[in-house]
């Protein structure tokens, strides 16, 4: 979860830096607005890509944890059945 926050923070910082650089550049207003729109569009695309990567990473980790939990459940169930058989054998 910290990785996601770091990625978003870095991208937001880069976007703010780029925006400030464009705002303080000595261009005409129309040129500056075009640059801001382009930088905004590029930033949004970059954020979408990073978010997609983050979601894929979470999904992969979730699926791996789900599979591991299923394996642990199966092992526990098998062990409980073995213990149950042993107890029945000893009581007989």
Question: What is d(CA 82, CA 23) in angstroms, rounded to the nearest whole number?
Answer: 72
Helices 2-23 & 29-91 angle (0-180, nearest 10): 180
Asked whether the beta carbons of 36 and 22 are under 8 A apart, the reply is yes
* 3-state class (DSSP) for residue 32: helix
Using pLDDT thresholds of 50, 70 and 90, give the confidence band for residue 76: very high
* Structural domain spans, the chain: 2-91
What percentage of the chain carries pLDDT values higher than 90? 32
Query: What is the value of pTM for the model shown?
Result: 0.50
In the structure, what pLDDT confidence band is assigned to residue 38 with cuts at 50, 70 and 90? Answer: confident
pLDDT at 84 over 70: yes
Range name among 3-17, 23-37, 51-65, 77-91 with the lowest pLDDT average: 23-37
User: What pLDDT, on a 0 to 100 scale, did the predictor assign at position 1?
Assistant: 53
In angstroms, the CA 16 to CA 22 distance is 10
């Amino acid at each position: 979860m910290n990785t996601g926050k770091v990625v978003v923070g870095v991208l937001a910082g880069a976007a703010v830096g780029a925006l400030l650089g464009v705002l303080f550049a000595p261009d005409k207003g129309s040129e500056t607005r075009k640059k801001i729109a382009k930088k905004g569009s590029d930033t949004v695309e970059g954020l979408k890509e990073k978010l997609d990567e983050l979601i894929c990473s979470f999904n992969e980790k979730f699926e791996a944890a789900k599979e591991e939990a299923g394996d642990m459940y199966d092992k526990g169930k098998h062990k409980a059945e073995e213990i149950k058989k042993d107890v029945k054998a000893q009581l007989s």
